[in-house]
């Protein structure tokens, strides 16, 4: 798919040099670039993940992803914060898949909360299908944050209290309306204007998380917006 798109790009360049209408050439170039982004996203989504899972330090991966986004200046428009709790168990995964999932979630948070707050965190967590309140390492001992319970996907393999890792991205944006909370993970679901979003970001996250044996869901953040949460069972010792 990359090759025909590259060829179209070359032909367009030839047209430009031969004095074709610049407005049309610019339009074609823009749409070819957009198509290129969509194709890349689809390839990411469709690529079989065949490498074996290996024990992973999710905190280190999150730190790396955060550093990458910071170095690119992507975090400048918000007050961004990294919360890596101590004593996070190892999970089974692949660093590049987890990194991509985190980056996609942070990019969404940046879009949702310009000028606001974006938090990326990793902590130890025991899976509980109905516990809505969850504390971060930075919270005081007695803190409680009453919020409406999120619908959490049940994964039959997870027993209540299963120890693992919770990685979360929270923001102060408008949040996700409850009627959209399942649909946002479907490929091509987007509320962004045409040309801005392809709607593949969360589909890629869902696939990566599933392939690493985890679950992902969206909740309400205490920052006021969306909190995307990924749970992975701890790697057996």
Ligand X SMILES: Nc1ncnc2c1ncn2[C@@H]1O[C@H](COP(=O)(O)OP(=O)(O)OP(=O)(O)O)[C@@H](O)[C@H]1O
Residues engaged in binding Mg ion (CB under 5 A):
108, 201
Using the minimum distance from each CB to Mg ion, give the nearer residue, 131 or 196.
196
Using the minimum distance from each CB to ligand X, give the nearer residue, 56 or 118.
118
What token pair was written down for 55?
């024990």
| Alpha carbons 94 and 17: distance in angstroms, whole number | 46
Q: Give me the least distance between CB of 13 and Mg ion, in Å please.
A: 30
User: Is 224 a residue that touches ligand X (CB under 6 A)?
Assistant: no
Q: 79-84 and 117-127 as β-strands: parallel, antiparallel, unpaired? A: parallel
Q: Which stretch binds ligand X (CB under 6 A): 17-25, 105-113, 139-147, 153-161?
A: 105-113
Using the minimum distance from each CB to ligand X, give the nearer residue, 90 or 229.
229
Q: Which does 98 bind (CB under 5 to 8 A by kind): ligand X, Mg ion, none?
A: none
Using the minimum distance from each CB to Mg ion, give the nearer residue, 56 or 80.
80
The residue with tokens 């992507």 is: 74
E strand segments, 23-172: 54-56, 79-84, 91-93, 117-127, 162-171
Q: Give me the least distance between CB of 68 and ligand X, in Å please.
A: 17
| Residues between 188 and 207 that touch ligand X (CB under 6 A) | 189-192, 197-203
Q: Which does 118 bind (CB under 5 to 8 A by kind): ligand X, Mg ion, none?
A: none
Q: Give me the least distance between CB of 187 and Mg ion, in Å please.
A: 12
Q: Which does 77 bind (CB under 5 to 8 A by kind): Mg ion, ligand X, none?
A: none
Q: Which residues are CB-neighbours of 191 under 8 A, at least 6 positions away?
A: 180, 197
| Chain centroid, CA 215 distance in Å | 13
CA distances from 122 to 62, 77, 87, 209 (A): 7, 22, 10, 15
Q: Which residues are CB-neighbours of 164 under 8 A, at least 6 positions away?
A: 89, 91, 124, 125, 126, 127, 214, 231, 232, 233, 234
Binding interface with ligand X (CB under 6 A): 41, 104, 108-109, 112, 171, 173-176, 184, 189-192, 197-203, 225-226
């Amino acid at each position: 798919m990359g090759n025909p798109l590259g060829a179209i790009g070359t032909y367009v360049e030839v047209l430009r040099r031969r004095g074709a209408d610049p407005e049309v050439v610019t339009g074609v170039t823009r749409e070819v670039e957009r198509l290129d982004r969509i194709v890349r996203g689809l390839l990411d989504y469709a690529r079989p993940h065949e490498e074996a899972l290996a024990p992973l330090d999710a905190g280190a991966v999150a730190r790396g992803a955060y550093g990458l986004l910071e170095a690119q200046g992507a975090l400048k428009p918000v007050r961004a914060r990294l919360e890596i709790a101590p004593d996070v168990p190892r999970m089974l995964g692949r660093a590049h898949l987890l990194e991509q999932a985190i980056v996609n979630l942070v990019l969404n948070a940046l879009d949702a909360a310009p000028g606001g707050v974006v938090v990326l965190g990793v902590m130890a967590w025991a899976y509980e299908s109905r516990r809505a309140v969850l504390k971060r390492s930075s919270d005081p001992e007695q803190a409680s944050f009453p919020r409406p319970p999120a619908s959490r996907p049940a994964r039959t393999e997870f027993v209540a209290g299963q120890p693992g890792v919770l990685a979360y991205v929270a923001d102060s944006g408008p949040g996700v309306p409850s009627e959209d909370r399942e649909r946002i993970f479907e490929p091509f679901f987007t509320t962004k204007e045409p040309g801005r979003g392809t709607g593949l970001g969360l589909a890629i996250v869902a696939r990566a998380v599933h392939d690493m044996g985890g679950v992902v869901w969206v909740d309400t953040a205490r920052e006021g917006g969306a909190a995307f949460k990924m749970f992975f069972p701890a790697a057996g010792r």
